[in-house]
A and B are shown apart, each in its own frame.
Chain A
Amino acid sequence: MPIKLPFRPRRDSVPSDLWVQCPGCGEMLVEKQLEKSLRVCAKCGHHFRLRASQRIALLADAGTFQERDAELVSVDPLGFVDSKAYPDRIAAARATTGAQDAAAWGTAEVGGIPVALCVMDFAFMGGSMGSVVGEKVTLAAEHALAARVPLIVVSASGGARMQEGTLALMQLAKTCAALARLADAGVPFVSLLTDPTTGGVYASFAALGDVNIAEPGSLIGFAGARVAAGTTGEALPEGFQRAEFLFAHGFVDLVVPRAALKETLAGLLGYLRPRPAAARREAADA
């Protein structure tokens, strides 16, 4: 957690001489040093969460990311009000994050290989997936299919956005449908699961990579750990729902430290070549 700071409009503009306490080991880290180490604690290896722009800078070749559909914004289909009206929550999230919603997608190159890249942003309403996030993941998948380039989606989300009700739930179906088409067409999908990837995001596109990669220590699970403990009344296994737990149970292929992510992705993409379009299918898919 960042130590107490005055209100600031964007995280990107944090002065670089601030101190941050590592939630992994409690060490006080200098923001400037943390930035240099890709926001990984030099002492314990704790991976701090990245904003979408930081993730893109980490994975895409410099200057290659071209954002698409940046103008998509949420509406309030249910007229949803809890302690705050949904439009007010969105407005507040925009003001504090500088982002339009919890995902960005675009075209990019990774190690010189053209890809469709979609990146979630946990800072925006917990990375929750409403219609905009579902649409961006789907648009990225549809572009990957049409252009026959690999799809990379970086997940960071607490799940579906409750304020959009079942319209948010239906984004699970929309995104999975687009991924099923990719799989049919032999266009590769690499899912990168980061802290946290839970609920409806894990239970849809994030689980379906041809290759699933997780960052060390990431919380990844279907239900909340408290729910799981409450259900069984038993102590949860050591490291429950962490990336390493998922790896041990066979649900991620690799747990890769942040510093090695780009090299790993580029290496895998050398094998995961999109199948050339078959003439018959192409017309229907376009």
Chain B
Amino acid sequence: MPDRALPPVDEQALAEAVWSRVQTARNVRRPHTLELLGTFATEVRELHGDRFFGDDPALVCGFATIDGIRVVFVGHQKGSEVQENIRRNFGMPHPEGYRKAMRLFRMAERFGLPVVTFVDTPGASPDAASEERGQAEAIASSIALMTTLRTPVVTVITGEGGSGGALAIAVGDVVLALENAVYSVISPEGCASILWRTPEAARQAAVAMRLTAGEQQALGVVDRVVAEPAGGAHADPETAARLLGAAIAEELRRLTAIDPDALVTARYARYRAIGAYTTTAEPARGPAPDRRRMTERIRDLLRSGRTVVGQAEPVARSEEVDG
């Protein structure tokens, strides 16, 4: 695909290109877990409750069949309008959400079902009730449990991958990301508030954290970027879901052929290897600092997803640099 004329190369253009991804990832009309499954899966049967406290509408779980493969699904669920979004707490789970997820993870292992998780949350709910019920314990336990599951785990970052609340259901044998998804250690606004001392600097923080799907792939945190239709998944949810469903099915077929013990060993190795450090005596290991010029970073951003998924239709990219 020929490159379109590049915008003026300055910090502003880079910030706008990145921020456009953040906005697309947060678009309320973007298809969420249940909408995606509704398109590419069959026999979707949602299950409810953590058996300790309650049922969390911000995190949905159950059974689904993807291209003939029966799976357990777990995903954050945002609403597509205000009332539903309030009911679902904007996709921010309480501890009972993660405990429900853990119940389903254990069930998946027990009955030999692969797990597919869909990550789309600004973060775990930060309210006082969550603290009282052990938000940190729930997240830590879910992360630890996922590292040991003796069944395939496919994770997809579909929208916002916000911090520990995202990672709690995102420890996979393979981690996919939709093209306009973002993944970060803290929200751009939160990072800006702390390091720039104003949430107004969210765009700069978003650039600095390299949170776009393509950049996360370059860092080795994401394995594969799945293309979205022109204008983003919300512009054509059917096509977006179809492309994602095909990618998930392909990964499931690959992983279900592998012995569960080998999967767990490889999963440990995947996370064991992530990190960038050096020793006072040796050269650096891990991803090298990316100090390329802005031109190249912008060009990469515009290309992100194109080179990874060969089958994607060519799409115009102009909307992504208009901000």
Contacts and interface: CB of A to CB of B under 8 A. Distances in A.
Contact of A241 (B131, B186, B211, B275): B131
B137 interface: yes
Contacts of A131: 275-277, 286
A208 B194 contact: no
A237 B133 CA distance: 13
A77 B219 contact: yes
Interface of B: 124-137, 139-141, 143-145, 147-148, 161, 163-164, 167, 171, 183-186, 191, 194-196, 204-205, 208-211, 216, 219, 221, 261, 265, 267-268, 271-272, 274-281, 284, 286-291
Interface of A: 71-83, 100, 130-132, 134-135, 138, 160-162, 164-174, 176-181, 183-184, 199-200, 202-208, 221-224, 227-229, 231-232, 234, 236-237, 240-241, 249-251, 284
A131 B275 CA distance: 5
A171 B221 CA distance: 11
B287 A177 contact: no
Per CB-CB distance, the 8 closest pairs between chain A and chain B, nearest first, are A223-B126, A131-B275, A77-B276, A177-B147, A82-B195, A176-B144, A207-B140, A203-B136
Given A172-B164, A236-B128, A162 B191 contact: yes
A284 B265 contact: yes
Residue in A73, A132, A162 with the greatest tally of chain B CB atoms within 10 Å: A162
Nearest to B124: A222
A84 to B, nearest CB: 9
9 contacts: A78-B210, A172-B164, A174-B271, A177-B272, A183-B144, A200-B185, A222-B136, A234-B128, A251-B136
Contacts of B147: 173, 176-177, 180
B136 A221 contact: yes
Given A168-B185, A177-B272, A83 B196 contact: yes
Given A132-B277, A174-B272, A174-B275, A228 B137 contact: no
A108 B71 CA distance: 46
B128 to A, nearest CB: 5
Nearest to A136: B277
B225 to A, nearest CB: 14
Contacts of B131: 221-223, 228, 240-241
Contact of B139 (A74, A203, A251): A203
B148 A173 contact: no
B208 A78 contact: yes
A222 B139 contact: yes
Contacts of B284: 75
Contacts of B130: 222-223, 228
B140 A232 contact: no
A166 B128 contact: no
Given A167-B221, A170-B271, A75 B276 contact: yes
B275 A171 contact: yes
B141 A207 contact: yes
Given A78-B208, A203-B164, A251-B137, A167 B219 contact: yes
Contacts of B139: 203-204, 207, 222
Contacts of B265: 284
B144 A177 contact: yes
A251 B134 contact: yes
A102 to B, nearest CB: 12
A200 B145 CA distance: 17
B128 A205 contact: no
B221 A166 contact: yes
A228 B128 contact: yes
Contacts of A166: 161, 183-185, 209, 211, 216, 219, 221
